[in-house]
Structure 1
């Protein structure tokens, strides 16, 4: 083997080894870094506008944008959890008061409730079961509020790392992209296509998450209004829980439907179960896939599976990471098709 070839092979092996070492070093923080990159790519144009308005003071503009992003995301979430905790205490007291009333005792003696008690609860006291469930929901909200206020060490560290990363990505992000573009062997137009796809899909994925939450809250509110339940608070909770993987709006409408059944409002409870299961839950996948497919240029079926797979692999942020990885894969295949168009023609 000639010396120049040996040098090239050695250099490539060295690059691969160093790259793998860097991956191992950054692997514990990949989610935080990727979240920071996604948020910066979405808010970079407002940052550039703000930097111009501030006379080119990039550090000040970056600091302001980081504060704005934190206020847009973290503060509303904490306030909602605290509000939910306060309302859950009131709801629990109302449930206990109702179950002690003569009306609840009359409902408990109805044939439907007696049949339900024998088949599902195996002759357990339904009133005690309802109180126990309500107590658990109340405790969940209270613990969630405590966690939101005090937080955990890992959450605090992750948040600081994301903010810290965003600050420097805002300032040095463009020069980093230029460096990456220079180092990649791909033509510049392909680099730009990949970067554009990353930005567009990140934006559409996060947008779809909030649009889906709003849609589920509004549709859920309609169902709640029809059955005569408090609309504002429960719809607000539906919107919040729809943002959380493995939870969803069903965490709200299903207990509400069970409450209606236990209080003798049979048809209202059945309607809410059907409405929540067939309408509210379906909106999640349909709206999210419809919004993302426009930018990702991926079939809605694959979008849905990429979201589910992303959640299973990455947790909460898998909602963003899954569609992003699939769309980048489609972009790479498109570049491959353009480069080898003549070879692929048969």
Structure 2
């Protein structure tokens, strides 16, 4: 088999599936390639949190990126749901970020200066959430990642995207250009360009390069509980530990972080850690009924920031990966960036801090 497309997107998680849908809407002739099932890796394991306030640590470009994507979410979800007639679980439930110690209170208060749409909660308001103080982001919330990917894939295919699922890809390079991918079923070619959005597996897709895309998998373990009744109205964060109440009554508790390669098995130590998270939020264990536990592999770059932009020295190749804990949140702005690259139009915001060159320069220095 040999077939030509304008654009090939490698990776059908939340980033790749939404990007392929956008490309097909505007440009046509798009192939979406996935080694597994759509959303079967990091996206399918994600809690679906849409919270810049929980991830932003300063007033820099990453915070701008997070907030820009969150603001795009309502319109993107509305368009997607209208296109396929299905609910993706989008819910602006609000996010509370607590400070549990005096030194955390001052750190949290500083965020008010550079976070949009955030209000302060004093001790009387924060105490029910287990905090001495808190910030509250009313417009932040959550989505159901598997449903989001399902809807994006469905919308893309309805618009004309051709899927190649269950087919590991190997990028093909000729004369300094990315020309297509080799699949078990044959070769497909990208006449205009190729997008790598394969998350932690981006390094595997490019493993035959002298310098593969620098992402590594970070395992995150999560537990879901059934409850007799809703325990809280909002998502609650303390650091990177969180409680996510779902509208069906489930409570998601996460998450651990450890390096385990591509091993996505749940460990006893991970479960002990999650039990400690439950204790830290002062939840009654007698009211939580274990539903399931799972793990996902998040794509982390050396500096923890995503890689967004054309790959240096290879014409026609663009990278949209390394979103780490924020793939679901950043999917909206990343898809807009992919479309801007493809159309040769101005980017939705300054993405220079996330271009691949920053990591390649560091790697060259490390290698002497």
TM-score by length of 2: 0.27
TM-score by length of 1: 0.28
Larger-Rg structure: 1
Q: Which protein is richer in strand relative to its size?
A: 2
* Bigger relative contact order, structure 1 or 2 (CA pairs below 8 A, ≥6 apart): 2
